[in-house]
Amino acid sequence: MEEIWNALGRALSFGTPLLLASLGAVINERAGVVNLGVEGMMAVGALAGFAVAYGSGAGDGNLYFAVAAAAGAGVLASLLHAFAAITLRANQFVSGLALTMIGLGVAGLLGKRFEGFPLFNQAPEWPFTVGVVLLALGLAFVLAYTRLGLVLRSVGENPAAADALGIDVVRVRYLAVAFGGALAGLAGAFLSLAYRPSWTDGMTVGLGWIAVALVIFVGWSPLRAIGGAVFFGLLYYLQFRLQGQSGIPTEFFAAMPYLLVIVVLALAGLRRVQGAAPEALGQPYQRGER
């Protein structure tokens, strides 16, 4: 019994950054914008959070500021994507990919001086976990039952219709992408402040990609994202449990998340989840000249 509780606890802890990042992606995808830059935004957020919390190195950095800095860094990174994909109507998939490279690259360069230092004032995990579950519930409600949600969903389904009714499609999409960036930044902060209080290059270990795949797997639903995140959290837990005990090579476990993403996408394809995608997902919007 204790074993199960322990497993569930670890699953929730692994699942927290996943849920954070994928909730953000759910929101920007519901507004019609794909952002494959989650991994990069997480890296930037993790570094920003760590840098602020690190302060002078004596554990004197303010953790609240650190969390805010992480979210802010995520937003800044996401605006790069927003500008390319929304204003300049560039290919959203490639733009997001470029953002991941930029995010990982910039964080790797600027974070070099923090590499290997421990964080003395580490943050607790539970506020993130509790907060993100509440957030998922709140987002589900907002999407279904408020004007905000209605506007967001309409922009993702049929931007021309929303535009004709006086809704500023570009602004809504910018805000949604920024929200996605903030949550990805927070996911990074969870990693560098609470989960493994330190900074190492590549500490996001592909979680961002899994978050992107998770969005498709849960059919763009914040509620189902909770279940999806716990499920993946459990897989991660099992991976760590089995790694030491079995004769299976460690490389197999390291490759596992990436294989899982493919499996998840293939499963989603089998179940025809793609049909639930917002109608205008991935398409830039340009006011129609008739």
Partner 1 sequence: MASTILQLSGITKRFPGVVANDRVDLELKEGEVLALLGENGAGKSTLVSILYGLYRPDEGEIRIEGQPVQIASPAHALRLGIGLVPQHPLLVGRHTVAENLALGVGRFWFPAQRMVPLIEQLARSYGLEVDPHARVHQLSPGEKQRIEILRALLRGARVLILDEPTSVLTPLEAEALFRVMRELRSAGKSLIFISHKLDEVLAIADRVSVLRRGKVVGELPVAEATKPRLAELMVGRSVSFERKRAEPRLGPALLEVRGLQARSSRGLPALRDVSFSLRQGEVLGVAGVAGNGQSELVEVLSGLRRAEAGTLSLEGKPLVPDPARLFEMGVAHIPEDRIRMGTVPPMPVSENLALREYRKPPLARGFFRDLAAYEQRAKAQVQQYAIATPSPSTPTRLLSGGNIQKVILARELAGSARLILAVHPTYGLDVGATEQVHQILLEKTYQGAGVLLVSEDLDEILALADRVAVLYQGRLQGPFEVGSLTREEIGLLMTGSSLPTGQGGAA
Partner 2 sequence: MRLVPDPNPPRLRVLWVSLGAIAVALLIAGAVFAAYGLSPLEAYRTMLQGTLTDWKGLSEVLRRTIPLLLVGAGLTLAFRAQFFNIGAEGQLLMGAIAGGGVALFLPLPPLLSLPAMFLAGVLLGGAWALLAAWLRSRLGVNEILSTLMLNYVAQYVLIYLINGPWKGQNVRGFLYSDEFAPYEQLPTLPGTLVHWPTLLLGVVLALALQVLLTRTTLGYELRVVGENPGAARYAGISVPRVVLVMAIITGGLAGLAGVGEVAGIHHRLLEPAQISLGYGFTAVIVAWLARGNPALVLVTAPLMGIILAGGDLLKISLNMPFRVIDVFSGVMLLCLIASEIFVRNRVRWGRR
Q: Which is nearer to partner 2, 166 or 247 (CB)?
A: 247
Q: Which is nearer to partner 1, 169 or 261 (CB)?
A: 169
Taking residue 198's Cβ as centre, other Cβ atoms within 10 Å add up to 19
Give 55: exposed, middle or buried? Use CB within 10 Å, 0-12, 13-18, 19+. Answer: middle
Rounded least distance, CB 5 to partner 2, Å: 32
Task: For residue 127, give the H/E element and its range.
Answer: helix 126-145
Give the footprint of partner 2 on this chain (CB under 8 A): 36, 40, 80, 83-84, 88-91, 93-95, 97-110, 112, 201, 206, 209, 212-213, 249, 251-252, 254-255, 258-259, 261-262, 265-266, 269-270, 274
Quick one: tokens of 135?
């957030």
Identified binder of partner 1 from the candidate list 88, 134, 137, 164, rule CB under 8 A: 164
Q: How far apart are CA 116 and CA 182, in angstroms?
A: 26
Q: Does 290 contact partner 1 by CB under 8 A?
A: yes
Q: How far apart are CA 173 and CA 95, in angstroms?
A: 15
Close Cβ partners of 34 (under 8 Å, ≥ 6 residues apart) = 28, 92, 93, 96, 281, 282
Identified binder of partner 1 from the candidate list 109, 110, 148, 266, rule CB under 8 A: 148
Rounded least distance, CB 90 to partner 2, Å: 4
Rounded least distance, CB 206 to partner 1, Å: 32
Rounded least distance, CB 219 to partner 1, Å: 13
Q: Are 161 and 154 in contact (CB under 8 A)?
A: yes
Q: Does 146 contact partner 1 by CB under 8 A?
A: yes
Q: Does 163 contact partner 1 by CB under 8 A?
A: yes
Main-chain dihedrals φ then ψ at residue 8, nearest 5 degrees = -65, -40
- Residue numbers at the binding site for partner 1 (CB under 8 A): 145-148, 150-151, 153-154, 157-158, 160-167, 279, 287-290
